[in-house]
Structure 1
Amino acid sequence: MAETDRELKSRPDPDALLALAQQGKRGKLTVFLGAAPGVGKTYAMLTRARRLRQDGTDIVVGLVETHGRDETAALLEGLEILPRLEVNHRGKILEEFDLDAALARKPRIIVVDELAHSNPADSRHPKRYQDIEELIDAGIDVWTALNIQHLESLSEVVAQIAGVPVRERVPDTVLARADEVLLVDLPPAELIQRLNEGKVYLADSAKRAVDRFFRLGNLTALRELALRRTADRVDDQMVDYLKQNAIEGAWATSERLLVCIGSDLHSQTVVRTASRLASGLNAPWIVVYIERADREEGDSDAVRRLDETFRLAEQLGAETRRVTGSDFVDEILKLARREHVTQIVIGARRTSFTGRLFQQSLPDALASRVSGIGIHLVTDRDDQPPVRHKRLPKLNVLGAWRPLAIAAATVACAIALGLSIQLFIQLPNISLLFLLAVLISATYAGHVAAIAAALFSVLGYNFFFINPVRTFTIAEPHEVFALFVFLVAAVLAGSLASRVREQAKAARQRAISTQALYDFSRKLSGTAKEDDVLWAAVTQLQGTLRRDAALLLPEEGELKLKAAWPPDTELAVGDMTAARWAMEKQEPAGNGTGTLPNIAYQFRPLMSPHGAVGVCGFRQQDKPLDIDQERALAAIMDQTAIAIDRARLSRESMDQAAQLEGERFRTALLSSISHDLRTPLATITGAVTSLRELGDRMDPASRDDLLASIEEESGRLTRFVANLLDMTKIEAGTVNARRDWVDVADVVRASVERARKYFPGRVIETSIAADLPLMRGDSVLLGQVLFNLIDNANKYGGDEPISIFARQDVGDIVLSVTDLGKGIPAEDLERIFDKFFRRGKPDGRAPGTGLGLSISRGFVEAMGGRISAESPAQRRRGTRISMRFPITEARVAEKDRA
């Protein structure tokens, strides 16, 4: 056991080896990281590039911003520089990095400055770091430069330090995936001196920069951030090296963070803080949002903010989760225990006095129930107003009339019913009627109506049933207490009833959504054709999302629109570009994504177990998809991808079966050709050789026998080749049967005479009806069919005579060829007309090619007739093959001849 443990410890980490193998397929990213502009990042890049260029390395400058620095511009001399792309942006011509030119040039290394730069609106990607990711995916090594303040997780910290907001930001995952991070450092005092000397900005810009940003305290703090982040990166690289080489050492911490967010603006601050904490601890982290089980559809702004927060978390390297539950604390703790979380990060908002008095905050509730897990509270900034908890819901004046009317109506009914009862009997608990009114209002109109009904009930009960009546005065103290208890009970009961109603409504909505997905799944399970799957899917998408939808599939190497709703939808050039990107990169593209965000549609790949099978697109509107729509979309896309994959596999299976059948036919044909050609050729070759070598010494009878053998085998070869040609014509559909008047008796006699020449020892009997009419057909094809049937009877009919009958049966002319051989088993009666099907002789050898009867069926059907086999034919033996031809036209010909 100890030896086994040592062996396991000596093995490299498989995940680390897999990551190392994946790095070999991509280009490498080198980031020159600095604390602030002017520390010399671009200078260091170009200096290193010139050294590699002198060594013969294929290195190209894609884009470098010199900012007017002469010493930096001088380093560009002698380097290959790609031309910039001119872009018209708001009436101005901008010179931007030409991504397509870089991909076409495909150097070994390309220098692309300013990693955090934002591209113009109509560019393929909104950010330059996304251009660089595409270059890396193409196998090109990229050098770039970045200032520490542009990291997403540090943007708020830098804004607090420098007092300047950071507009252009880069996700931390970009720096985390960099293969090499080079810190370009300069002491703050020296940087300020360079700024004053005009080596960083021009004179006017330099003065403003010193006053606003380039202050000693700011630069020192930024330098510390850059040094810390570079140290973390070096530590990550060291850990990766240890894992890849199975070296025991100081491993990274096993901390794991859980970050709780909501749909408010403060959640983005919580995510950035958690990102910095996770980076400092070198720990994985999970971002979770918990929604209530009885949640109704929220406002679009909250949904949009939540989606933005999730995208930010994913950019910073977090794993995201959505959980449904009623008890937030319980759900957080269950997830924390399941994921082995060691620390929880949660936002803490400043609350008003009434909020602290009547409601416990989520951080306080969490702290009171958690055990063994650290809690980090991320507080608001001072400029954020405190949260005011509202016990009563905010009413919409225009939309509140319905619940108020229902509440007033139910209370009025309770008053009328109570007064009616008091005419007959005095009851001490008449107040229960008003409690019933509150419950009815809550059930049919929600919590607003419940609260309103409770207030109306207090007033109505006091006015009509508490002495002195018809006034709002209360004479007895116990009546005051009873009225207060009634109000509290009514509010609680109404709240509970309204919550039950909301939960039932939410459950009903989820049931409708589940039923729709179930019906869609059943529809797909019963659909085998790809077109039916696509139209069912696009219809379901449009009905669920209430947006235009489109499905695209690859065909002959090109992505094509296969189904759309509305059906006349046409995709623009930009839409097709985004769709191809989603298919190739297997990631979303288009509106609302990082690739071509200004087009109308958003495209997502349809992923199956075998990879991307197509692309799903939907038109974006003013508001993004909400949570329920996202879930429905994901379910529809998954089922559609599986159905498309199943349809394609079914089609491929059928094609493969057809190929196997064709291969079987080819094998049978080659086997038949090799046998049927070799036998007559061997006979002819032997006879010719004997005549050439022994011709003068052979007697005349022997020579005649050899010549007869040559003639017979040559005729056999001729028939064999003719059968192959006839079969080829039938397969190609080029058999053109003439529609001449044919005398069947003449064709039968000619076929019999021909057969007697080939089979001189065979007895052939004919029986032709005297009143047999003419038929429409091709005498040559009919004669060939009769000869093939006689040839088949000669092979399998034994020594008994062959009988040919021609007669008239109702509306058909019937021709039959009968032999008295062994016969055909019932299961083979239909198969004998298949290509290459042959019945063996008693010695086990299958004569012929198995094409004669198949050719006969093709010729008969070309003339409008039918052919069939019957066995036994006579005296429980033999086979009869019959042909039927219609005589409708034949009777017309008889009248014309008469």
Structure 2
Amino acid sequence: MPRGELRIYLGAAPGVGKTYAMLEEARRRAGRGTDVVIGLVETHGRRHTAAMLGDLEVVPRRTMTYRGVAFTEMDLDAVLRRRPDIAVVDELAHTNIPGCRNAKRWQDVQQLLDAGISVLTTVNIQHLESLNDVVTRITGAEQRETLPDAIVRAAEQVELVDMTPEALRRRMAHGNIYQPEKIDAALGNYFRTGNLTALRELALLWLADKVEDQLDKYRADHAIDSTWETRERIVVALTGGLEGDTLIRRASRIAARTKGADLLAVHVARSDGLAGADPAALAKQRVLVESLGGSYHQVVGADIPQAVLDFARGANATQIVLGASRRGRFAQILSAGVGVTTIARSGSIDVHLVSHEHAGRGRRRGPMPAALSRSRRVAGFLTALLGLPLLVALLKVGPQLSLTNDILLFLAAVVGVALIGGLWPALLAAVGASLALNWFFTPPLFRFTIAEVQNLLALAIFVTVAVAVSWVVDTAARKTRQAAQASADAQTLATVAGSVLRGERPLIALLDRLRETFGLDSVTLIDDGTVVAAVGHPVCVAPVDADVEVKADETLTVLLRGRILEASDRRIVEAFAAQAAVALKQERLATEAAAAKPLAEADRLRTALLAAVSHDLRTPLAAATAAVAGLRSRDIQLDDEDRDELLATTDESLGRLDRLVANLLDMSRLQAGALGVVAIDVGAEDVVPRALDEIGPDGHDVTVHVPDDLPPLHADPGLLERILVNIVTNALRHSPPGRPPVITGSSHGDTVELRVIDHGPGIPHDRWDDVFLPFQRLGDRDTGTGVGLGLALSRGLTEAMGGTLTPDETPGGGLTMILALPAGGMA
């Protein structure tokens, strides 16, 4: 059975019209004769969206009860039994009620697709797992419901439903998205113009990446390797040379000329695995690339121009930046070089050949390291000096052989010397052997002349083969030594990376690993003469005291004390130094972030306070103002019942306003440490009724079970009453009709507990601490009243009196708040 197709309508924020567009498509499909059913659509009370349902067939929802509250979910089994061509399923990221077949709605959709049913669905950008933390930082609102990006990326079609921030805010102001009482708070919080602009850009960029993936797949499926200039991508090729910084900055300027252009740096490592580029220089250049917003890549290849072009074509790059050749003029005559070869093979990719101050000056090469140790070279020379006379004596004393055999024996001797001592002893042996063959074995004997041409040719071949074999043996030994050194360097750097990743302080771990690796007494990092980190003893604090000094960047220097390092070791130390600069930068950024966190938290609270208070002060004020205006109006005739109702409204609104202001003042005093607490022994039977009276008519519905023999509480009566008002008000807000909260009391040793029990939907255990955060409401439980301050204030007031306020689960569903205070006479 073929799998169904998934079409997703992606939006930057609620209200942009995703569900409306989805239903438009559903109606078009149904009009063309396709079997379409509505699995689940959330209209959220929006009349235009509800009207789009029209005569489309709707599969009845499944009603479920969770913690005493009824919920409706999509009836997955019913949709599967119905087996339409297309099912419309809204809100892909939705979390199903416990008891459903799947935990997430996207899992329901996967089952529909597996059954061959195509699906139309919707999702907002903030629900994507990869962007969830970014959206939280932008909006200040954490989104609990997420889904993996892979689900959306795997969709056959993703359509962006776009709307400008200004148009979306107008829709909000006209009441087309939220209920009127929530509009002001929404416009001042999540739906600020800046937030919507950022979310819109996130949606556009994410969709652009999705389209890019589709384009890459299309090009791969159709074997298209030519560049399609859909987006500017600049590739800069790095060799690890001194010109690298110049090339990177030039490429960055080219990328900056086009909005959204990508900068990619690539280094081609030798395919033989031997060290070629300076690892320290490459590490610094990698940091520079990333600081300019680019990415660093490394590929392996023997043909450098081809490897660069293969990478560029694979990345669909439009331009390549190369440095002008550092080789001298004579070398450029003999070989075209990387730049010229790349240009010749580049095809439609533009190639920039950038001049720099090191161009044409030749490559800086250090002294070529000896392939073999000193002792082996000495042994090779001794073998040549002693072995050749011995071989001559043996051939003269022994049976006479032909010249060909003599040449073969001397060639074997030269090869033996090459294996023992390398190139120079072998060259000495080759020269000595050729002279010996000419003098002792080639007619006329004992003269450096050769009578026959073929003998001359044989000696010439002998010398050529001897030199070639010596060169090959020496080269193989040198490569072996270089490979061993490269392997050791790679293992050292890998160990460094592992220790840094595992360490809590990467910089200290890096310096300590450097000291341990090279057996140093101390390693010190200084910044413009100031010590910023050091390990070992005694610590080196000045360049004059150091045995080795290595620059990490313009201002940072690593000082080593203990021994002088070899040139090959110094390259690895330079790589350590470059990483130390990165680690120091990360530590400083972490410190700055930690210092900014309290300020950011204060700003978040201030923003939340202004947003919440702007709405929640206005609501009771508006109600009271309207009631007073009605009472004062001379154009309206009011009877006693209407007048009493307006007075009651005024009284209730002013009471809400009074409680809100009192909570704000108390929270301010509490955070400033200026809240006065006067604790005395007070009975629960006195405080609880006063708190319920302050709540108003709803408070009289609360059931109270406080034992007559309950010990008094040692508390501030006014603060205790405030705590109870906030807790009970919160419980009333979430209690189902006909099941009001219950207050019970009990004593446990030197503690008295008052429990406020409700039978509402409850709160997941992992979110119990969230209810005590200031200006927080738990997502979809926002009732439009209060600033989310009551429980935070209640816990603060309780702790100020030496007590605790903790949540617990109500048996059968709901939330119980346990207020524990010292018993009277025990404090």
The verdict on a shared fold, with TM-score over 0.5 as the criterion, is: no
**Greater RCO, 1 or 2 (C-alpha within 8 Å, sep 6+):** 2
Q: TM-score range by the shorter chain?
A: 0.3 to 0.5
Query: TM-score w.r.t. structure 2 length?
Result: 0.40
Q: Between Structure 1 and Structure 2, whose CA radius of gyration is higher?
A: 1
